[in-house]
Amino acid sequence: MPASVRSFDAIRRVREEVQRFGLRVSDGLIELEAEIRRVIDWVEHDRPGYWKERTRRAYDEVGTAKAELHRCLMYPINDEQPSCAEQRAALKRAEGKLAYCREKQELVSRLAHKLRHELHEYQGRTAALREAIDIDTPRTAASLARMVEVLESYARTGPASTSGSSASPPAETSAEVEAPASDEPVAEEPRR
C-alpha cells in the first residue's frame, strides 16, 4: 500500500520520542522497584529489631511495676492493707504496653512475608512491560531509522519510471513508497 510521506523529520522525531519514552518507563520501573525494596528492607531488618527492643523494655517495665506493687502490698499502714491504686494502674499500663509491642512484633513478621509476596506479584505483572520496553522499543526505533533511510534513498533516486516521462516528487518534501516489510532481527541500540 503506497504511503505519502511529507516529512522525514517527523519520523525522526517519532523515533526520538519512542526512545525517550522507553528510557522514562525503564527508569520509572527501576526507581519504583528500588523504593519497594527499601520499604521491604525497612520492614524486614529495621522494624523487627526496633520492636524487639521495645518489647524488651516493656517487659522490664512490667517487672518493675510488679515489684513496686509487691513492695506496696508488703508494708501495711496502721495494720491496714494499702490499696496501691497507683501501682496497680502502673502495672496495667505496663502490661498494655507489653501486649501492644508483642502485637507489633507479630504484625511486622506477617507484613514482611506479605510484602515479599507482593514484590513478586509486582515483578510478574510488570515483566511484559519491561520486556516491551527493553526489546520492542529499540526494535521500533531501529525500524523507524531504517524507514527514514529507505525513504530518503527513494526520494534521492526517484521512482523507477517505465515510460521515462513521469516526474519525480520533490526530494525534500514527499515520497510515495511501500513500507518495507522486514522480519529480520534488529540490533539493539545502546541506551543514552
Per-residue pLDDT of the chain (192 residues; tens, 9 = 90+): 566 777 788 889 999 999 999 999 999 999 999 999 999 999 999 999 999 999 999 999 999 999 999 998 888 777 777 788 999 999 999 999 999 999 999 999 999 999 999 999 999 999 999 988 999 999 999 999 998 898 888 888 866 654 444 444 444 444 444 444 444 444 444 454
**Number of domains within the chain:** 1
d(CA 12, CA 119): 38
Is 136 inside any structural domain?
A: yes
Is 63 inside any structural domain?
A: yes
CB 61 within 8 A of CB 98: yes
Tell me which residue range forms the domain holding 140.
2-154
**The residue type at 43:** V
Is 67 inside any structural domain?
A: yes
Is 56 inside any structural domain?
A: yes
Is 190 inside any structural domain?
A: no
